[in-house]
């Protein structure tokens, strides 16, 4: 007989975060086995009943992204055909989020394709965090809760950045100006901007600082750090302009390619990322890395969704 309780299914992308979320909700992860056949097809076995239950499938867009996305789609489809009452896709880091617009001829809008696939698989609701572009919510026909890591970032700055009252918040590009100004306003700090010119994707050629950082602690904030080329160059630009030290705080730490080498060789004092993407092994190679745990925010969003409560509390700064 159904109890309409929370059932949390975890894929292979980030089991540590899934366990933290389940622990905060006072429940266990559902019995799910995800394997591959010898021809690399993904096979999912759900080892318990989900009939008439409230199911949450957690899978982050990281690592082997295509395999993990397929895992999630198959798990959602399996729950749909097993008569789950409601299926929520929980994507701490949304896959293909940077392919959100047609920025050149014949470019695909892959984020829209991912949205379509999740809907067709059977997702009734989506919970994610800090979308690269919040308009991605409009790609879905079902409700989307785009949670913010900003309250967690504000708390980290207040508790872990020495002399933060003498800091300045810096956006490494024009696109992140709104995020940086919001954080600066809440901390009552000044704001600066770095304008970057790219020769090609992932390669920055020149940086120009707009604002005064002399003798201040510069805090770079961004939504995603991939190869960290931008952060490394931005930090050098800030130090060249008289900053006393440079911190970088990023929501999604992809840290691919030579990212760790760039961070270790840079003038950055610390690079802080949330655990939407696993990086425990990377922390062993890079002592400058630090972590903000966002499992509490995701767990609270799941709890409120299940109980029919408003999730808007988590969007504002009451959650700080």
Task: Give the tens place of pLDDT for each residue, 102-139.
Answer: 988 999 999 999 999 999 999 999 999 999 988 999 99
SS3 call for 23: helix
pLDDT (mean) for 66-77: 96
Does residue 275 carry a pLDDT above 90?
yes
Tell me the H-state helices in the chain. 15-24, 65-81, 110-121, 150-160, 177-187, 229-240, 259-265, 280-285, 295-307
pLDDT at 174: 84
Does residue 213 carry a pLDDT above 70?
yes
pLDDT (mean) for 242-256: 95
Express as a percent the part of the chain with pLDDT over 90.
84
Express as a percent the part of the chain with pLDDT over 70.
95
pLDDT at 3: 67
What's the Rg (C-alpha) of the chain? 20
pLDDT (mean) for 15-39: 95
pLDDT (mean) for 9-29: 96
Put residue 215 in one of left, alpha, beta given phi > 0 → left and psi -120 to 50 → alpha: left
Distance, in Å, from the CA atom of 247 to the CA atom of 169, rounded to the nearest integer, reads 10
pLDDT at 318: 40
Tell me the pTM.
0.92
Nearest to 31 by CA among 54, 49, 47: 47
Q: Which domains does the chain have, with CATH numbers?
A: 6-148+295-312 (3.40.50.2020), 150-292 (3.40.50.2020)
Q: What is the DSSP letter of 178?
A: H
Q: Which residues of 289-306 are buried (b: 16+ CB within 10 A; e: fewer)?
A: beebebbebbbbbbbbbb
pLDDT at 154: 94
């Amino acid at each position: 007989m159904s109890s309409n309780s929370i059932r949390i299914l975890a894929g292979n992308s980030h089991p540590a975060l899934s366990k933290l979320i389940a622990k905060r909700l006072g429940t266990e992860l559902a019995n799910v086995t995800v394997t591959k056949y010898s021809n690399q097809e993904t096979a999912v076995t759900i080892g318990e009943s989900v009939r008439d239950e409230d199911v949450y499938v957690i899978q982050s867009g990281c690592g082997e992204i295509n395999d993990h996305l397929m895992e999630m789609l198959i798990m959602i489809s399996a729950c749909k055909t097993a008569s789950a009452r409601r299926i929520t896709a929980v994507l701490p880091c949304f896959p293909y989020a940077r392919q959100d617009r047609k920025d050149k001829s014949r470019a695909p809008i892959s984020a829209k394709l991912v949205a379509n696939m999740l809907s067709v698989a059977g997702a009734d609701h989506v919970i994610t965090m800090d979308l690269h572009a919040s308009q991605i919510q409009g790609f879905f026909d079902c409700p989307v809760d785009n949670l913010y890591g900003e309250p967690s970032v504000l708390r980290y700055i207040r508790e872990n950045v020495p002399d933060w009252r003498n800091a300045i918040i810096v956006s490494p590009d024009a696109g992140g100006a709104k995020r940086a100004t919001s954080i600066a306003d809440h901390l009552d700090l000044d704001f600066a901007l770095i304008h970057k010119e790219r020769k090609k994707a992932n390669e920055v050629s020149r940086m120009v600082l707009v604002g005064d950082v002399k003798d201040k602690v510069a805090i770079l904030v961004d939504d995603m750090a991939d190869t960290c080329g931008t952060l490394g160059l931005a930090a050098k630009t800030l130090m060249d302009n008289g900053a006393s030290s440079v911190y970088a705080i990023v929501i999604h730490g992809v840290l691919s390619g030579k990212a760790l080498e760039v961070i270790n060789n840079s003038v950055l004092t610390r690079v802080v990322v949330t655990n939407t993407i696993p990086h425990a092994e990377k922390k062993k190679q890079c002592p400058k890395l630090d972590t903000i745990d966002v499992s509490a925010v995701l767990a609270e969003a799941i709890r409120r969704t299940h109980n029919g409560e408003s999730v808007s509390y988590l969007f504002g700064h009451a959650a700080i």
